[in-house]
Amino acid sequence: MNCILLINGTYIVAAVFFIYGLKLLTSPETARRGNLVSAVGMFLAVAVTLLNNEIIDFKWLLTGIAIGGVIGALFARLVKMTQMPEMVALFNGFGGIASLLVGWGAYHVMPLAGIFELTTVFLAVLIGGVTFAGSLVAWGKLSEIIPGRPVLFRGQTLLNGTLIVAVLIGGSVFLSNPAGGYPVFLGIMLLSLVLGVLVVIPIGGADMPVVISLLNSYSGIAACAAGLAISNNILIVSGALVGASGIILTKVMCKAMNRSLYNVLFGGFGAVAKGSEADVDGEVKPISVQDTYFLLEAASAVAFVPGYGMAVSQAQHVLKELGDILEGRGIEVSYAIHPVAGRMPGHMNVLLAEADVPYEKLIEMEEINRRIANIDVCVIIGANDIVNPAAREDATSSIYGMPIIEADRSKTAIVLKRSMAPGFAGIDNRLFYKENTRMLFGDAKEMLGGIIAEFKGG
């Protein structure tokens, strides 16, 4: 009895650690300590659980912890900062499958539990399954194992709707006859996995920040449902915290793209938008590395606008080097960050932090737009849709209304880009055809390196 009191008391302490840890995440100075506090909370929660007298066999669970710990630590140490989005997606999926398995285990041990427990088992399996399969697809898309473009087919929405109805019917059949419901239960599990794949497959690369946030939220909700299924308070508290965090991030991301969550999930963004290509006027004007150097050298204020292309070519370090050279010459340098630049929330901030760019130099979209007319040269590094003026000018464009970094309003915009291929939204970028835009074709890292060489040589 005392043991139960100790366990539950420690769970309360762990919950406090989690909340306080998240609170410390609100400032870069304290964030690392916050993560540590949260980890200590996790350690306490797991360690004290081992005292539970229901546990009679430690062999397998300790083996499992050892295996998982080694794999997790290796993953986390070896992953490159540019691979962070797919890593987060994969970990989300692992959380989801763990919740599914816990729900399954709970049902296997007590198939005749009350209606409440079985409902939560159903939810844990359903949400856990969707999280797992969806995260794996997101991981595949982000690491380019499968195509990042939206995969659409006829009757997709109808199929998804039918599956959701099937899951709900399966759920009620299962709940009305839990004892004989094992086949139905396994069917629900299978459907949830299929549903997870189908929900993420039509979503394009540029929408990945929304999807990752949403899956993050699901992994929390799944843990929460698993907690309700086995009546464990610490699972409920932590799951709810993560669920809330994911929902907030999802909302922020949707707002930054001026789209509703429904539109992201069912819109099949990017596959249909070709309409406005024809009416783009003007021509593309390429620029050489040397001319770029002259432009930059003569500037007094320069803004860098990084996008996913910077991550792909790992150009953050050379970018910072160039920024330092410019600053050394008395040029005002800022880094303009769009909220959905890259493939996950805050992606550009992480990469630039890796390159040691002080965070006060990272300027948010609203602020840079206020002073963009005073920027002499705006250098866009592998960003596309987030600087596309079609968002302001073309009411027929699929990104119309999305807040953008208005690079076209700066005095000169230089776009570093591999080729003229459209961005992940699949639409042509009007910025490339503007009078004051110059295109610097090539790999971002090489081109920036070339400009640096010009500075050092000149």
Partner 1 sequence: MDPQACNEACLVCMGLILVLSIFIGFEVIFKVPSRLHTPLMSGSNAISGITLVGAVLAAGSAGGTISLILGTLAVVFATVNVVGGYVVTDRMLRMFQKKPGRRQG
Is 154 within 8 Å of 208 (Cβ atoms)? Answer: no
Among 207, 385, 394, 428, the active-site one is: 385
DSSP-derived 3-state class of residue 443 = coil
Burial of 430 (0-12, 13-18, 19+ CB in 10 A): buried
- The residue behind tokens 């996995």 is 193
Choose between 164 and 252: whose C-beta lies nearer to partner 1.
252
Give the nearest distance from C-beta 68 to partner 1 in angstroms.
3
CA distance 389 to 161: 36
Burial of 156 (0-12, 13-18, 19+ CB in 10 A): middle
Choose between 150 and 342: whose C-beta lies nearer to partner 1.
342
Structure tokens at 221: 């909700």
Give the nearest distance from C-beta 362 to partner 1 in angstroms.
6
Choose between 49 and 263: whose C-beta lies nearer to partner 1.
49
Choose between 93 and 426: whose C-beta lies nearer to partner 1.
93
Is residue 376 annotated as a catalytic residue, yes or no?
no
Structure tokens at 40: 């200590």
Burial of 412 (0-12, 13-18, 19+ CB in 10 A): buried
Give the nearest distance from C-beta 203 to partner 1 in angstroms.
17
Choose between 213 and 412: whose C-beta lies nearer to partner 1.
213
DSSP-derived 3-state class of residue 305 = strand
| Nearby residues of 453 by Cβ (< 8 Å), 6 or more positions away | none
CA distance 215 to 380: 30
Give the nearest distance from C-beta 340 to partner 1 in angstroms.
10
Choose between 225 and 372: whose C-beta lies nearer to partner 1.
225
Half-sphere exposure of 72 (CA within 13 A, CB side): 11
Choose between 140 and 345: whose C-beta lies nearer to partner 1.
345
| Nearby residues of 384 by Cβ (< 8 Å), 6 or more positions away | 307, 309, 417, 422, 423, 424, 425, 429
| Nearby residues of 319 by Cβ (< 8 Å), 6 or more positions away | 304, 306, 310, 352, 355, 381, 448
Give the nearest distance from C-beta 439 to partner 1 in angstroms.
29
CA distance 300 to 121: 62
CA distance 274 to 270: 8
Is 398 within 8 Å of 433 (Cβ atoms)? Answer: no
- The residue behind tokens 């002073």 is 371
Amino acid at 23: K
Choose between 254 and 414: whose C-beta lies nearer to partner 1.
254
Choose between 243 and 309: whose C-beta lies nearer to partner 1.
243
Q: Which of 232, 234, 236, 255 is nearest to 244 (CA)?
A: 236
Amino acid at 257: M
Catalytically annotated residues: 385
